[in-house]
Every structure is written in C-alpha cells, then in structure tokens.
Amino acid sequence: MPALKKTAFLVTSAALLSMSTAAPALADGKPGGDGDQPKPPGKMSTVGGAQLGKPGTQVKLKSGAPVLPKELTGRSWIVSDAESGEVLASHNAHWRLPPASTLKMLFADTVLPKFPKTQKHKVALSDMAGIGAGSSMVGIKENETYSVHDLWLGVFLKSGNDAVHVLSAMNDGVPETVKDMQKHAEDLQALDTHVVSPDGYDAKGQVSSAYDLTLFARSGLQKKDFREYCATATAKFPGETKKVTKGKDKGKTKRESFEIQNTNRLLTGAPGVNPYKGIAGVKNGYTTNAGNTFTGVAERNGKVLLVTVMNPSSTETHAVYKETERLFDWGFKASGKVDPVGELVAPKGAATGAGKGAPGGDGTGTKNVAHASDDGSSGMGIALGVTGGVLAVLAAGVFVIRRRLPLPGQAGRRAPRD
C-alpha cells in the first residue's frame, strides 16, 4: 500500500476582525438583495433548533465574547463544537444549496465500512460510465487493479470522481449507492439533503446544507479510516502498467506510482493560504453551480470545532478557506463565551433519544451530545471518540511534517471542477 504523509500544523492563527452580517445570499438563483445575490428562503428547516431555521446570521454573544469576523460572504456557514454538538454561530444553516464534492463525505461515511481496505478490484470500462464532463479525476485506468485503500486515497485527496464511480460499481452500481446515501442521510437526520449523484457533480435537484454537511463530517470522523484519509496530505497512487522499452528489463511490464496531493488548501497550503494550525481534514469542493464549498475540522487546546462554508461571493483568492479560517479563529476564542443557537442532532435511534432539536422535539435546540459511531455508542463516549481521533491524527502529523519539504508545482493550482 502507498506510504502516507501526514499534514502540517505549523502556522499561527489569523487576527480576528470586527462583526458584520454577510449580505444575504434562493437556491433558484433569482436576483435579490445586495449585488443581485440570491436570497435565502424566509423559512427553513428547524432540525437542531428553531433559531437555525431563521435566515441571516444567528449568534448569542455573552459578555466578553469576540464579535464575528467582518469578511464573511458565504451564502451559508456554521460553526459547531464537534464534541458537544453545540452550534456556536450560523448563517442560513439550513439553506438547501448544491454541495459539490463536500457530498463525498456522505459517500465515504456510507460506503467506506463496506469493503476492507486490502480488497483488490480490477477496473472495467463500465465502472466509470456516467462521469460528468470536466470532473476532477485521480487517474484510474481500465483493466488496472487497485486496492480499496488506493481508491479512497483518490476520493479524499484528489476528489476523484473516477474513484467514486469505481467504488460505486463495487457497491452494486451508482443507483444503489445513491439510495444507500439517501437512506444514511435520513438516518443522520440530514433532511436538507437530496442525493442524485454520489460524487457531488452538479445534478438537477441535488442539494444539501451547511448543517447537513457538518453532520456528515461529524459522523465520518467516528471512523478511523475516514479520519486517516481526510488528514492525509500526500500519498503515492498506482499508475498505468507499461512495457519496458529498453535496458535489461526490456519487454517486461512495470507499474510505477505517482504522487497525489490533497486539494484541501487548509491542509496542504497554497500561495496566500497557510496550512491551518490544528487542521485535521475534512473535504473541499467546487462546481460551476455550487461555487466553492468546504467543511473542516480543527483542534486547539483540546477543543475540536467543525466549520462549513458554502459558496462565498467574495473575489478574494481562496475565499472559502480564508472565511473558514476566520470562523475557526473566532470559534476557538468564542468557546464558552456564547450561548448555543442550536445543536447537531443525534442520528435516529441514538441511545439518548431524538433531542429537542430533532424532528418531533420542541424545536428549542437544547444540548444533545449523542452521536452514532461504529459500535453504536453515544453521548460522551462519542465526544471523546471525536477528540481522541483528531488528536491522534494531529500528533502523528506534527512528527512527520517537521521532516517534509514543501511540495513544488501543485500548491498554487485551483482545485479542479468536481
């Protein structure tokens, strides 16, 4: 299996900025608001609490709390505590928008447990049927054999739609995989999500929300392999088998590998974007319809936060990462100094019950720390599982990164359409 190289966490936090509410940004694309930006629906889902169903920015600052950053232009965003599930602040959290490749978090959380990473699969041409034009690809070739481990590296690092389609073929095909993903989303109470394509490629009716994407990340992070893949900065990926044309091995076949780098710029860095201190994943995305989307998880001083940002309108280079970074900085400073505006609800059937923020509750969004895991545990055990898993990734990464040189040639490239 390819050797993995973990990520860096060596930069300092950005300075906090003064508070302003971002210009409201309708998924139907009709003009409205400042700069003809679309407006959110006047009424949205109240899963997680009534306040999360309101349009605009939601935050409850207590005395001494830092104000929210000024430069926030995402149509939708959310900052939450990965352990307790408390939502510290949000902006149009339940606005149903195209998710792009952040939907691959749901794909991975659904399909990853089904196949051992050592399982091998020889790719048929039919496995990659239906991949959208202009998709991001890791470079899978028909008639070549790949391990499941290889395929997941392609999904997480290069956002490879070819890897997604091969894994979907192994899972009885794209239609079955879409059904599995939709059912899993419903089990997680991610009710804003409608799955049409497993890779997040633009498709009519395919939507999710910042709230739901955060639920997918939180669920996925319960899984060791998910944590490992989403925190991997670079890896070796198998290339194409070719005949040797010269030398002593002439006439024989040889298969070399090539290096792939994670397109999550808070993980690997890029001109104008430093690796974020404490980052441990999760997934970025971009399509023409969705714009840039991102969900990240980071730890600082034992506190683990999740931030999701969808479709910033700013022309700032790498705006989705810059706005995520600002929200992380704010969240770590605001922890304990704000009242929650909602919660990340537990999946159906979690041991602690539905919670007040779940469908059928009273909608007040009171704290519910339960969350599903591989072994069906919940409550504080899950919170510790999130923290322990992320801290383990960070501890491993710091040791490796001090010995890894910057990667030339790739850091400045914009993530491909996916």
Strands 232-243 and 4-6: antiparallel
Range from 11-25, 176-190, 313-327, 331-345 carrying the lowest mean pLDDT: 11-25
> When comparing pLDDT for 24 and 340, which is higher?
340
- Reported confidence tier of residue 13, pLDDT bands at 50, 70, 90: very low
> What pairs with residue 236 in β-bridges?
259
Three-state SS at 167:
helix
Say yes or no to pLDDT of 391 above 90. no
Beta bridge partners of 255: 241
Asked if pLDDT for residue 169 goes beyond 60, the answer is yes
- Percent of residues, the chain, with pLDDT higher than 90: 70
For residues 307 and 344, the answer to whether their CB atoms sit within 8 Å is no
Name, in order, each residue with C-beta under 8 angstroms of 132's C-beta and a sequence gap of 6 or more. Answer: 161, 197, 199, 201, 202
Distances (CA, A) of 253 to 121, 139, 147: 19, 19, 19
Residue 7: predicted pLDDT: 38
Alpha-carbon gap, residue 207 to 106, rounded angstroms? 12
Stretch 191-206: mean pLDDT: 97
- Give how far Cα 324 sits from Cα of 153, 282, 356, Å: 24, 12, 28
CA distance linking residue 110 with residue 104, whole number of Å: 10
Amino acid identity at 288: T
- 310: number of Cβ within 10 Å: 31
Q: Is residue 365 within 8 Å of 48, Cβ to Cβ?
A: yes
Residue 258 β-bridge partners: 237
Mean pLDDT of 276-288: 96
Question: Which three-class secondary structure state does DSSP give residue 387?
Answer: helix
Angle between helices 148-158 and 161-170 (to 10 degrees): 140
DSSP string, 11-80: PPPPPP----PPPP--TT----SGGGPPPPPSS---TT-GGGGSSSEEEEE-TTPPPPPS---EEEEEEE
Q: What is the pLDDT of residues 226-258, one digit of tens each?
A: 999 999 999 999 999 988 878 887 778 889 999
Task: Say if residues 79 and 196 touch (Cβ distance below 8 Å).
Answer: no
Query: Using one digit for the tens of pLDDT, what is the confidence trace for 48-61?
Result: 999 999 999 999 99
User: Above 70 in pLDDT, residue 21?
Assistant: no
Q: Give the confidence band of 37 by pLDDT, cuts at 50, 70, 90.
A: confident
261 Cβ contact partners less than 8 Å away, ≥ 6 residues apart: 157, 233, 234, 268, 407, 410, 411
Alpha carbon 56 to chain centroid distance? 23
3-state DSSP helix/strand/coil % of the chain, to nearest 5: 30, 20, 50
**Mean pLDDT score, 164-176:** 98
What are the Cα distances from residue 194, in Å, to 34, 172, 190?
A: 29, 20, 9
Strand partners, 86: 343
For residue 57, what pLDDT is reported? 98
**Tens of pLDDT along 87-132?**
999 999 999 999 999 999 999 999 999 999 999 999 999 999 999 9
φ and ψ at residue 253, rounded to 5 degrees: -105, 150
Where does residue 69 rank: exposed (0-12), middle (13-18), buried (19+ CB within 10 A)? buried
Give the mean pLDDT of the chain.
81
Largest alpha-carbon pair distance within the chain? 75
